[in-house]
Chain A
Amino acid sequence: MQSREIQILNKHGLHTRPATAFVTEASKYKSEIMLEYNGVKVNAKSILGLLVLAVEPGSKLMLITDGPDEEEALEALHKLVKNKFNLE
């Protein structure tokens, strides 16, 4: 299991478009991928779960990956978040 703290840098937080990008990327991996925010843990492959988190701009979350490709998944998703989901 791998985990890393990530920060949402987007102007509007983790709204529909970045969440869509995140779930699409996460779904490429076999590992279980979770996001923890304010004590709530959700499946990062579920867009509804991510949207319900309503992550505001600047917030920090814990990204947790667990499975055969957990390292690659962690790196790729962290990169996506750092690059503001390639949206801004």
Chain B
Amino acid sequence: MTVKKKKGIQISRGVVHGPVFYFEKGQLSIPRHRIKEAEFDAEVDRFLEAVRISKEELTQVRDLVLDHLDEDHARIIDAQMLAVQDEEMVKSVKDMVIREKKNASWAYFDVMDRYESMLLQTLSDFFQDRTVDLHDIKKRVLYHLQGDKSSDIPKITKPSIIVTEKISPGGLINIKHNMVLGLITKEGGYNSHAGILARAFRIPYLSDVIDIEELNNCSEIILDADNEEILIDIDSDDVHRYTKRIRNFQKQRIQIITDKVASATKNGEPFHIYLNAGFVDEVKPLNPELIQGIGLFRTEYLCIAENKIPDEETQFQAYKSVLQSMGNLPVIFRVFDFGRDKLLALLDMEIIQEDHVFDEWGGIGFLLENPDILKTQLRALLRASVYGNAKIMLPLVMFTEELRQTNKMLDNIRKELSRESIPFSQTIELGAMIETSSVLDELDSLSNLVDFFSIGTNDLALYLIGSGRAVDLTKNYYHPKIFHAIKKVIQVGQRVGVPVNVCGEMASDPYALIGLTAIGIRSVSVGTSALESVSKHVASMDTTQIEKLADPILKADSPASIYSILTQYQQKDIT
């Protein structure tokens, strides 16, 4: 029997074999039953109430969006608000309840379905992406109609490969991840939150797979994300052929790091390689004997996991658990960094992010405007600090003043904790992320208030070069402006004795890593997927040779010339 194959686009690598768990878009299970005439009024009222609550929620969402994004995005919510209470729609639902005796959920679903299919038909090229996503609205109203708060979460009983149209970040995280062997979706993106989470959890993920319905009837499949294939109608011989690769992948999945991470270059110069992480479960399996610490713990992922900002106790337990599994190694907790994309994930909304307008909002500035959120988090961090070597890092620092305010808040919390006789570490370090252009002018005053600098190259590139995240950032790494900015941070750091670390994708790029080393970086933090290769590169570096590249790099006038300096060096190095 020949195996049938389907193709897709790799979002997260890996190979798995397992049963299919197929669920329809959003898993909206619609209770359908006929009602009695005596129930008409009550049923219609129930529907109007669900509409009212949904509208109220959207009003809150709109306020948030207007406060923190812009008028443009608020208009998208305006359209959703009009649609959720659309008078023709409401009329049709009422009619259907009364004439066809359908219960409200059923009638509403049918009416919305009709609008959706009509909208789909009218979609000409220029109308695409310019219409309201009714799915979101529908989900919201049905949710309030049913009162079944778990209807959105698929209930998986055994480890399976999930097949669905598209998956929301909330949906992914809610699936107990050891139940998810792999993911297959019709729609998705490399940088979607589901995509990021899949890579973080090492779940093989293929997106853009067509006719996923075909997989509904398969009992077992092989998902080979490495080769961007799905094998259906498989027999034991097929499974046998894949056994070795599947086992290897499982091994990698469990023991993420198998070799000790390099702590010095070939010529014996100390070099720190830290790890980026965002989930407690991601940190737990790490062997502290093999690594040097967590250089960036993205605390906002806790919010994605909970779909809300967790309370002090929940945060405390999470931070404590991370610190305990790391022994005495440093763990740098970056306080909540709610950028535009993260806000949207929290609200579980899908707004197209095609615009390259840079948002000024996020980072420590936002937290200082919302001191309750920051205070709760700092209290949780200070309480957890006695369980290991915790450091606190502030994202998207713009002004020295933000450090002053944070320090003041920390002092108050320390006093509070002392009064309450709650122990905390007296020596917790505070660092600033250098990732905006404005902070580059305040490095001197800033350096007096911090214990370390960490350069976030992704946002720094955005600020200095001004291109959107959607554009391939790799090319931006080689921009002279980036190298000059980093050099400036290193110089200030050396002068006042503040260590400088680089976290961001730039450090994972082998050529860019040489460039960073050339201008004086000796500490980086990278994702687990890049750790092994970065470690190998560092171990093979001869800094006495690499430092000779500093001059030509800092004199170069274009990204292309920096790129060629670095690639030429690398080629010489290999041969």
B-binding residues in A (CB < 8 A) = 12-13, 15-17, 19-20, 23-24, 42-43, 45-49, 51-54, 56-57
Contacts and interface: CB of A to CB of B under 8 A. Distances in A.
A21 to B, nearest CB: 8
Contacts of A48: 83, 86, 88-89, 115, 119
Nearest to B132: A16
Contact of B82 (A12, A15, A24): A24
Secondary structure at chain B's binding surface: helix, strand, loop or mixed? helix
Nearest to A54: B122
Contacts of A16: 75-76, 79, 130-132
B122 A52 contact: yes
Interface in B101-131: 115, 118-119, 122-124, 126-127, 130-131
Nearest to A53: B122
Given A17-B79, A20-B78, A20-B82, A51 B131 contact: yes
B119 A23 contact: no
A45 B122 CA distance: 19
Interface string B131-156: 11000000000000000000000000
Contacts of A15: 126-127, 130-131
Contact of B89 (A17, A19, A24, A46): A46
Contacts of B88: 42-43, 45-46, 48-49
Of B75, B88, B89, B115, chain A has the most CB atoms within 10 Å of the CB of: B88
B79 to A, nearest CB: 4
B472 interface: no
Contacts of B115: 48, 52
A46 B111 CA distance: 14
A50 B88 CA distance: 11
Contacts of A51: 119, 122, 131-132
Interface of B: 75-76, 78-79, 82-83, 86-89, 115, 118-119, 122-124, 126-127, 130-132
Complex A-B, nearest 8 residue pairs according to Cβ-Cβ distance, in ascending order? A54-B122, A15-B130, A46-B88, A47-B82, A20-B79, A52-B118, A16-B79, A48-B86
Contacts of A56: 124, 126
A43 B87 contact: yes
Given A16-B130, A51-B131, A56-B124, A46 B86 contact: yes
A51 B82 CA distance: 12
A48 to B, nearest CB: 5
Secondary structure at chain A's binding surface: helix, strand, loop or mixed? helix
A52 B78 contact: no
Of A17, A42, A57, chain B has the most CB atoms within 10 Å of the CB of: A17
A20 to B, nearest CB: 4
Contacts of B78: 20, 24
A17 B75 CA distance: 7
Contacts of B122: 51-54
A45 B89 CA distance: 11
A47 B118 CA distance: 13
Given A16-B75, A16-B76, A57-B126, 11 more contacts: A12-B130, A13-B127, A15-B131, A16-B79, A24-B78, A42-B88, A46-B88, A47-B83, A51-B122, A51-B132, A52-B122
Given A20-B82, A24-B78, A12 B126 contact: yes
Nearest to A43: B88
A46 B89 CA distance: 8
A47 B119 contact: no
A47 B86 contact: yes
A12 B126 CA distance: 7
Contacts of A47: 79, 82-83, 86, 132
A53 B131 CA distance: 12
Contacts of B83: 47-48
Contact of B119 (A17, A20, A52): A52
A48 B132 CA distance: 9
A14 to B, nearest CB: 9
12 contacts: A13-B126, A15-B131, A16-B79, A16-B130, A17-B75, A17-B130, A20-B75, A46-B88, A47-B83, A48-B88, A48-B89, A54-B127
B297 to A, nearest CB: 39
Contacts of A19: 79
B422 to A, nearest CB: 51
B87 A46 contact: yes
A57 B78 CA distance: 22
Nearest to A17: B75
Contacts of A53: 122
Contacts of B132: 16, 47, 51
A54 B89 CA distance: 17
B126 A23 contact: no
Contacts of A49: 86, 88
A58 to B, nearest CB: 12
B506 to A, nearest CB: 37
B371 to A, nearest CB: 35
Contacts of B124: 54, 56
B464 to A, nearest CB: 31
A49 to B, nearest CB: 5
Contacts of A45: 87-88
A57 B130 CA distance: 13
A21 B227 CA distance: 48
